[in-house]
Structure 1
Amino acid sequence: MTDLKEDPEKFRAYFRLSPELFSQLLIKITPKIEKIHTNMREPISPEERLAICLRFLATGDSFATIGFNYRVGNSTTGKIVAEVSQAIWDVLQPEYMPEPTTDDWVAIARAFEQRWNFPNCIGALDGKHVVLQAPPASGSKFYNYKGSHSIVLLAVVDANYMFTVIDVGGYSRNSDGGILSESPLGKHLKAGTLGIPGDTPLQGAEEKGPMPYVLVADEAFHLQRHIMRPYPGRQLPRVKRCYNYRLSRARRIVENAFGILSTQWRIYRRVLGICPEKADSVVKATCVLHNYMRKNDDTERAPQYPPNTTDNRFQEAGLEPLHQAGSNNSSREAALIREKFCEYFSSAAGEVPWQNDIV
């Protein structure tokens, strides 16, 4: 294996990873991407195969451009990107995006309460469109409301911008709420098989009784027992505006995570000229690489806050604009849970010092 620093042009291919993290990743995935040596010719080395894949993820350049730089054919480049992306997901997912346990959900909820002042929150939920060239014979399946073709990345993010659960490949003609209901995440959530902890009273408001652990989401999702969304409309009383602000403050963590993902991996700023199946593998690879980088590289990690402290960096931020929501049938129980959160955020036990200045 050659020293990466001996070839600056090649080193630029994976500038999103430090040399140390690149070397660690290469060791992990080499058994899956290494090809057999024959007497006919030498295969492309695992190091170069990984570099080609990361170059594509980090820049979004065409296979022709990347293949020219590495002196390989267009079709070979495409096969390498697909194979290595899948290998990255297979190797890193069990360690860096495992299925959350009940203890994991409790730890996430504790972090959300400490950092973002939203108790019993086990994650921020949202969807992101990944734009593709129109797949052949796909009709309107991938045609979205923005007038482009895409697949949808549905993600749950923890308080430190780490992806905990993702679902990739939903048809973009459907709404985020519709994609959730058809996804494994939505089905497990409905069946109660996600390992979500039992109901727990909010601190200082034990008289309200046990409250469920919830995901915070925007207006595209249905109000459910384990999914909280904002109150619709503009002319709202102060208590509801306070609730919307507190929910928005916690929910925008997933928006921030998508922003970090798009900055690290520029494929999200291009139109991908690959089939939806390969796009699924590419998107999953970037998400697990995001977690891999944040967990191992101190310069990429969000700061850890000690218990019982408050992050005041966003005190000056106002409410995100709320759009008029359409009819959204929700259970009476879910509406009652939202009312209890609303009352709690405007009570002495649950309010934060700056909320009244913002709303």
Structure 2
Amino acid sequence: MDHYTVGKTVDQVSDVLWSRLSSKHLTVPDHDRFLHIATKFQERWNFPNVIGCIDGKHIRIKCPPKAGSLFYNYKEFFSIVLKGVADSECRFIFIDVGAYGKQSDGGTFSASTLYHFLEDSESTLRKPASFERSGTEMPFIILGDEAYRLKTYLMKPFARKNLSYEERVFNYRLSRARRCIECAFGILTAKWRLLNKAIETKVQKAEGIVRCICLLQNIIIDLEGKTHDPSVQETLRIRGSRHANTNVSCSSFSQFSKGAMDIRNAFKEYFNGPAAAIPSQNLCAGC
């Protein structure tokens, strides 16, 4: 079979899989599904009201004609960006594929359809169930790293130097819960080895392949009813402590709304209270 036929077949299969199965296995959750995801995050990662963790991954591609510099990233290879949000079981609940490799995580997020969805849905996301903080209701949130801007719906680590004990606890708990998105990307590259080298197609075709791979990963998780064995999960919990005390790069706090900072402080107080503290946070935040 010649290269043209193979390429055409891959395109057709990718299109059919996405059009027929994405609505079932990779669609934006409704409010009830958000509640279910938040419950699972609390059970597995001890972090309430979380509906997903966000991160980006550079997908290698061959140099596109006449636009190479746009796709050349800081890691010194050509790429498109896969922006993903994963639930507590390392299942993608949202993906955005195709941003230029040269863009930062924060830049690709603000240009993504996910960003506009969250901005449009903010009023809805502020009406979840309450958690044990004197019955106070808190919004649904997603968890990001220091590359993202603090929002009422997006929590990131405290970025100041000389963090207090309470702030280190919060950073640890956030880092610990965020391992699920890193695990999701890890499973993706381990299972689909095409992603370990450059995808040698046109950019548009590469985007379709990546979307289809994410969909297939969700289908496998849905059919098998599991993501990874407990030993891997426990390893992730232990590894999470390595990142908790990092003084992440400082950002201007003037860009954050008071509402977003109040919400982060509320979570900080909650994690440092007797109702939510876990033994591992004392070991990490105290070092």
Q: Return the TM-score normalized by structure 2.
A: 0.91
Q: CA deviation at 1:98?
A: 2.3
Tell me how far apart the structure 2 counterparts of residues 157 and 316 of structure 1 sit (CA, whole Å): 20
Question: Is the 1:315–1:354 contact (alpha carbons within 8 Å) kept by the matching residues of 2?
Answer: no
Which moved further from structure 2: 130-139 or 192-201? 192-201
The counterpart of 1:324, out of the listed 235, 240, 249, is: 249
Instruction: Tell me what 1:88 maps to.
Output: 17
Does residue 101 of structure 1 match 2:101? no
Question: Is the 1:222–1:330 contact (alpha carbons within 8 Å) kept by the matching residues of 2?
Answer: yes
Question: Is the 1:132–1:273 contact (alpha carbons within 8 Å) kept by the matching residues of 2?
Answer: yes
Tell me how far apart the structure 2 counterparts of residues 327 and 218 of structure 1 sit (CA, whole Å): 15
1:273-292 maps to which residues of 2 (within 5 A)? 273-292=200-219
Q: CA deviation at 1:234?
A: 4.8
SS in 2 for 1:186: helix
Tell me how far apart the structure 2 counterparts of residues 314 and 170 of structure 1 sit (CA, whole Å): 29
Tell me how far apart the structure 2 counterparts of residues 155 and 283 of structure 1 sit (CA, whole Å): 11
SS in 1 for 2:71: coil
Q: Percent identity?
A: 36
What are the ranges of 5 or more consecutive residues in structure 1 without an aligned counterpart?
1-71, 305-310
SS in 1 for 2:125: coil
Instruction: Tell me what 1:191 maps to.
Output: 120
Which residue identity is paired with 1:211?
M
Q: CA deviation at 1:193?
A: 6.6
SS in 2 for 1:192: helix
1:85–1:220 CA distance, 2 compared to 1 (3 A): same
Question: Is the 1:188–1:194 contact (alpha carbons within 8 Å) kept by the matching residues of 2?
Answer: no
Give the greater-gyration-radius structure (CA). 1
Does residue 206 of structure 1 match 2:134? yes
> Any idea what the Cα deviations from partners look like across 1:241-278, whole Å, max 9, x if unmatched?
10000000111110000000000101110011111100
Question: Is the 1:262–1:268 contact (alpha carbons within 8 Å) kept by the matching residues of 2?
Answer: yes
Instruction: Tell me what 2:275 maps to.
Output: 349
Question: Is the 2:82–2:98 contact (alpha carbons within 8 Å) kept by the matching residues of 1?
Answer: yes
Tell me how far apart the structure 1 counterparts of residues 34 and 76 of structure 2 sit (CA, whole Å): 37
> Any idea what the Cα deviations from partners look like across 1:66-125, whole Å, max 9, x if unmatched?
xxxxxx001111111122112111122011112211000000000000100100101011
Q: How many residues align?
A: 279
Does residue 162 of structure 1 match 2:87? no
The counterpart of 1:293, out of the listed 220, 225, 242, is: 220
RCO higher in structure (CA 8 A, sep ≥6): 2
Instruction: Tell me what 1:73 maps to.
Output: 2
1:195–1:336 CA distance, 2 compared to 1 (3 A): closer
SS in 1 for 2:83: strand
1:82–1:194 CA distance, 2 compared to 1 (3 A): farther
Which residue identity is paired with 1:162?
R
Instruction: Tell me what 2:108 maps to.
Output: 179
> Any idea what the Cα deviations from partners look like across 1:114-165, whole Å, max 9, x if unmatched?
1001001010111111011110011422121111111111111011111111
> Any idea what the Cα deviations from partners look like across 1:30-80, whole Å, max 9, x if unmatched?
xxxxxxxxxxxxxxxxxxxxxxxxxxxxxxxxxxxxxxxxxx001111111
What are the ranges of 5 or more consecutive residues in structure 2 without an aligned counterpart?
none
Tell me how far apart the structure 2 counterparts of residues 331 and 154 of structure 1 sit (CA, whole Å): 24
Q: CA deviation at 1:343?
A: 1.0
The counterpart of 2:41, out of the listed 96, 109, 112, is: 112
Instruction: Tell me what 1:22 maps to.
Output: none
Instruction: Tell me what 1:146 maps to.
Output: 75
The counterpart of 2:169, out of the listed 242, 259, 265, is: 242
Tell me how far apart the structure 2 counterparts of residues 103 and 293 of structure 1 sit (CA, whole Å): 23
Q: CA deviation at 1:326?
A: 3.7
Question: Is the 2:35–2:128 contact (alpha carbons within 8 Å) kept by the matching residues of 1?
Answer: no
SS in 1 for 2:170: helix
Tell me how far apart the structure 2 counterparts of residues 137 and 322 of structure 1 sit (CA, whole Å): 40
> Any idea what the Cα deviations from partners look like across 1:320-345, whole Å, max 9, x if unmatched?
14532443621111011111111111
Q: Return the TM-score normalized by structure 1.
A: 0.73
